[in-house]
Amino acid sequence: MKKSNMKSINKQTKSMLITYAMVIAVFIIVEIMISTGMMSSLMQGLLVPLCIYSIVAIGLNLCVGYLGELSLGHAGFMCVGAFSSAVFSKCMMTSGMNETLRFILALLIGTVVAAVFGWLIGIPVLRLRGDYLAIVTLAFGEIIKNVINVMYLGRDSKGFHFSIKDSASLNMQADGKMIIDGAKGIVGTPNQSTFVVGIIIILISLFVSFNLVNSRTGRAIMAIRDNRIAAESVGINITKYKLMAFTISAAIAGAGGVLYAHNLSTLTALPANFGYNMSIMILVFVVLGGMGSFRGSIIAAVVLTMLPEVLRGLADYRMLIYAIVLIIMMLFNWAPKAIEWREKHSLKRMFGKKEKAEEVQ
Amino acid sequence: MALLEVKNLGISFGGLRAVDQFEINIKKGQLYGLIGPNGAGKTTIFNMLTGVYKPTDGIIKLDGEDLVGKKTIEINKAGIARTFQNIRLFSQQSVLDNVKIGLHNQYKYSTLTGILRLPKYRKMERKMNEKAMELLKVFELDDKADFLASNLPYGEQRKLEIARALATNPKLLLLDEPAAGMNPNETIELMDTIRFVRDNFDMTVLLIEHDMKLVSGICEELTVLNFGQVLAQGKTKDVLNNPEVIKAYLGE
């Protein structure tokens, strides 16, 4: 009795450790490749975006895979996290604050602001059922992008000035500096997002997500996904746990946004980076990687982001191949025959058989 | 004093009076049966008792506490747990986790404790595992703790649902057709289990059932419902011999 109990815990821990090990192994391999000059500068430029997409995909997986609610606005949470942290970093740049401390604070601010937005949106919307959340988050992503595009924030010796008209209406002193310049966004954020930082944030996101889903709270969240009425009947507060899962999911997306903001020196809210295309792309990572599998989300994010770049040499054919890979991944992950084949040939099963045989002896 | 006291309970859906003037008194430790033809309003009564539907009128008192208008989770905390006619398990989670979800309000620790895996997390999880395995053992499901709930055979899914309901530490257990889909042997086994639960967990049970063998075998008192109204009420033997009950439900 005790033994079977232990086994189930081990299974979860094992999957967790494999994922951590995978991330660290990739990190080591990439570092070796960089130091030996085996990696093109194009690829090196992709490393941080890969981390960003992986992080946001982990966050979205919490919402889609574990809570079972569709969000089409995670790019919006990324955007909120990116801009709030960039504003902080820009303001603090001249203060002489330790750079690492500044980045950590920026990360915290971006995460918390995204969480607050997630919470605010969740309060009214998560009380509803069905597709409402998808529609509202989709709208949120679009609105936040447009709002940021008309925001003007400046700072001079008198303090902060804010306007939603244009930069002239800020009425700043001669020494004033623009922080957010409308559609031109934020210029001159410090470039502190390195591959190492990205990997660390991935590991933190994984740690939070794994531990969350394997705790009392995580079980309650999955109970709501599996059967709302039954969850209520055993005394689980539906609204509370839905809101909690959604807020944490938004916070992780916000952390991805912070990484994004500190990767390039110019931060603008364009449809290309924070529009619904981005939200859909991240949803594609989550769905193809397997809902409820954080490891799958990371693998899908990496493969699907690298692919178009790797195939650049094939010119016109690259989008064709990208599409074919998408379809193959989908079939491999979800087709019943493929799942059957995978179960038959998986390492786990082979090991499992061995264990059983030993028990008999 | 009665544990569950229901008076004058009624509910209308638009123009339809689904349940009218329903009354019931269940003493502590009793095995009580609620029977009646399909559509008589039995499950509707369960739904009112558990706060899924709000009664149009009437009083529901558990241990003297008024439950009308309270939410499902408040009623569960007050001490009523139930199973469902169409099984509602957390199908994508293990058998053990299903019971642990039932223990949600018995063993508490904060979300942050869970994320940071503080010592309290380990202590509580260990206690939860022990308690859950203890419950599973009663239903002979302990060797299947790792199975996905949806992979259990039908009869065992019903048992798991009862185990999960018991995990919430209720005073009153509502079973909605617990023997549905079971073969005669499984039904006899279930009868023993229900008696065991009553005796060992100090439980009061109200059950809806169509299987007359189970009803006459374990229920001490019965209420027969017909078209939303009480047709007969009293000791099982007397009720089952009541000519009106035979005419409306049992058949001559």
The reply to whether residue B104 touches residue A218, judged by beta carbons under 8 angstroms, is no
Does A212 contact B117 at a Cβ distance shorter than 8 Å? no
Which class for A189: exposed (0-12), middle (13-18), buried (19 or more C-beta within 10 A)?
Answer: buried
Pairing of strands B204-208, B31-35: parallel
A232 neighbourhood in chain B, CB within 8 Å: 72-73, 76
A297: domain CATH number?
Answer: 1.10.3470
Closest CA to B132 of B159, B108, B97, B162: B97
Contact, B152 vs B160, CB < 8 A?
Answer: yes
Residue B111 and residue A244: Cβ atoms within 8 Å?
Answer: yes
Q: What is the pLDDT along chain A (361 residues), one digit of tens a residue?
A: 444 445 555 677 888 899 999 999 999 999 999 999 888 888 888 999 999 999 999 999 999 999 999 999 999 999 999 999 999 998 888 887 888 999 999 999 999 999 999 999 999 888 877 788 888 999 999 999 999 988 888 888 777 888 887 777 777 777 778 888 888 888 888 888 899 999 999 999 999 999 999 999 999 999 999 999 999 999 999 999 999 999 999 999 999 999 999 998 889 888 888 888 899 999 999 988 888 899 999 999 998 888 888 887 777 777 788 788 888 878 877 778 877 777 777 655 555 544 444 443 3
- Domains in chain A, number: 1
Q: Which amino acid is at B144?
A: K
- Which phi-psi region, left, alpha or beta, contains residue A335 (left: φ > 0; alpha: ψ -120 to 50)? beta
Considering the four listed CATH numbers 3.40.50.300, 3.40.50.10890, 3.90.70.10, 3.30.450.20, the one that applies to the domain covering B1-79+170-252 is: 3.40.50.300
- Helices and strands, counts by H and E, chain B: 10, 10
The complex's ipTM works out to: 0.91
Residue with tokens 């199975």: B147
Going by C-alpha positions, the residue among B114, B99, B203, B232 that lies closest to residue A215 is B114
Residues 51-90 of B with CB under 8 A from A: 52, 72-73, 76-77, 81-82, 84, 88-90
Q: Which residue of B has its CA nearest to A208?
A: B115
Whether pTM exceeds 0.80: yes
Residue range(s) in chain B whose domain bears CATH number 3.40.50.300: 1-79+170-252
One-letter identity of residue A219: R
Contact call for A229 and B52, based on CB within 8 A: yes
* Residue A223 structure tokens: 């109970």
The C-alpha atoms of residue A294 and residue B119 are separated, in whole angstroms, by: 25
